Amino acid sequence: MKPFILTLVTALLSTLAASRVAADPPTVAPAAAAKQFIVLNTSGQADSAALFEAVRREFPATRQAATRVGIAGIFSYLRESPDKVRASLAAFLRLAADHDLPVVVQLDGEQWWEGRPDLWNWWDQNGPGYNPANRANVEWSGWGPEHAVRIAWRNWGQQIRVLPPPNLMSPAYRAACHREMAALIPIILQWWHALPPARRELLVGIKLGWESSVGVNAWYYPDGNALAERPASDDPKTGLRNDELPARGVAPIGYAAVTQARLRTSGMLTEHDLAVIAWRHLEDLCREAARLGVPRDRLFTHGAGWQDDEQLYQAAVNRYSCPGWSCYRHANDPAKDTGMRTALARSDAPWWAAVEWLCNGTTVEPWRTALTNTLADPRCRFLTIFNWEGIQHNPAALQAIREVCARP
């Protein structure tokens, strides 16, 4: 085993042993059917009847097929009011049952949290939720709350400004995630348990995290707080350099979480530090979901890795869930992703998933090959295409999906 992996595994096992929570994961129930799923994520409203109707038209019901088509919806529980998120989730599940379409439910408290200024607003005295103590709930660019960040950048197709990322180890932030999960997960489980046994596979899984990491989907440019006072047109455009770990070519952040986690309070941040933080974050979310009654075979993480063999891949693996990763670089054949392979070798979960996936082919053949290669591993429960809106008018993609689902 490579030294950095051995070091990470040792740290993770030590953390587990020291955990205050002694609850074991629920007993894993066998899956309703040994099937795989091609899931279409929506970038729009998940509770749209038009969405379900469009997918059902393109992919008529094939209940006996080895591979079924489903829909994934994202519910960012810190972005909007709790009542709105709960109502949207309930409507999404009703539509799934009405249209007989399997679903993956993603619960996100990581990438979008505009609805909770009481957690992140430490700088705007005239804005809602203002409290200087909120410095403890966002990330820092140095050792101490005086380095709290108030802006970050993301590139999911183009660079945009976003809120400062949460300190993933902040007790207030973690409590907020737990509260919303405690409200949302029972909605999912009650719906699932009310289904006839033959239809239980309509719940493919609940997914937690969203490329969980520090300083990637919300990174910080040097002197970023000063940039917040200037127009976005003045922002640097260099973006990330993922071969330069751990800061990836921008200003390092993660000091708040590393401090709160008592990993250390001085020196240079390391790749190992940030990988452990991502692992603790996902492990905590999955432990909470397990406590609420989600069985391991229906619970998936959303990890990622942007550099071959980086330690962050390991963060997706824990004893409560099945691991999942984004697959873009190796969408044509995930078996070539050495970081995923190394992490999977450590996992005793019944499944794994390519929880964010996209083929860039323009003809049927590359799509068919990529889909087939990804699902070739019988432990791969599903892949999720990001996004339905990007392929719904792509005849090659639609035909490839139909062909793969038609196979015995």
What's the pLDDT score for residue 62?
62
Query: 14 versus 295: which is more confidently predicted?
Result: 295
Tokens of 139: 């990330």
In a domain, 157, yes or no: no
User: Could you tell me the CATH number of the domain that includes residue 94?
Assistant: 3.20.20.80
In a domain, 22, yes or no: no
* Relative orientation angle of helices 3-18 and 271-291, to the nearest 10 degrees: 40
pLDDT digits (tens, 9 = 90+) for 67-125: 999 999 999 999 999 999 999 999 999 999 999 999 999 999 999 999 999 999 999 99
Residue 37: name the closest of 397, 388, 384, 394 by CA: 384
> For residue 135, how far is the Cα from the chain centroid?
25
In a domain, 72, yes or no: yes
CA–CA separation, 366 vs 332, rounded Å? 8
Q: Residue holding tokens 């008529």?
A: 60
Q: Indicate if the pLDDT at residue 227 is higher than 60.
A: yes
Contact call for residues 96 and 102 (beta carbons, < 8 A): yes
For the segment 301-324, the average pLDDT, to the nearest whole number, is 97
C-alpha R_g of the chain: 21
Count of beta carbons in the 10 Å neighbourhood of residue 193: 10
CA–CA separation, 325 vs 13, rounded Å? 21
Contact call for residues 182 and 169 (beta carbons, < 8 A): no
Contact call for residues 318 and 8 (beta carbons, < 8 A): no
25 to each of 162, 198, 263, 318, 358, how far by Cα in Å? Answer: 35, 25, 26, 11, 32
Domain enclosing residue 201, as ranges: 35-123+167-213+272-406
CA–CA separation, 332 vs 346, rounded Å? 23
What's the pLDDT score for residue 407?
84
What's the pLDDT score for residue 321?
98
In sequence order, what are the beta bridge partners of 36? 67
Going by their DSSP bridges, the two strands 103-108 and 159-162 should be labelled as: unpaired
What's the pLDDT score for residue 65?
79
What's the pLDDT score for residue 21?
36
How does the average pLDDT of the chain come out, rounded?
A: 92
What's the pLDDT score for residue 63?
66
pLDDT digits (tens, 9 = 90+) for 336-348: 999 999 999 999 9
Tokens of 315: 């963060």
In a domain, 401, yes or no: yes
In a domain, 66, yes or no: yes
* Relative orientation angle of helices 49-58 and 82-99, to the nearest 10 degrees: 30
Q: How many domains does the chain have?
A: 1
CA–CA separation, 236 vs 245, rounded Å? 19
Q: Which amino acid is at 186?
A: P
Instruction: Please tell me the pTM assigned to this model.
Output: 0.91
In a domain, 137, yes or no: no
In sequence order, what are the beta bridge partners of 326? 356
In a domain, 150, yes or no: no
Contact call for residues 405 and 62 (beta carbons, < 8 A): yes
For the segment 293-302, the average pLDDT, to the nearest whole number, is 98
What's the pLDDT score for residue 60?
85
pLDDT digits (tens, 9 = 90+) for 180-201: 999 999 999 999 999 999 899 9
CA–CA separation, 55 vs 57, rounded Å? 5
pLDDT digits (tens, 9 = 90+) for 354-407: 999 999 889 999 999 999 999 999 999 999 999 999 999 999 999 999 999 988
For the segment 267-278, the average pLDDT, to the nearest whole number, is 98
In a domain, 55, yes or no: yes
Q: Indicate if the pLDDT at residue 18 is higher than 50.
A: no
pLDDT digits (tens, 9 = 90+) for 140-175: 999 999 999 999 999 999 999 999 999 999 999 999
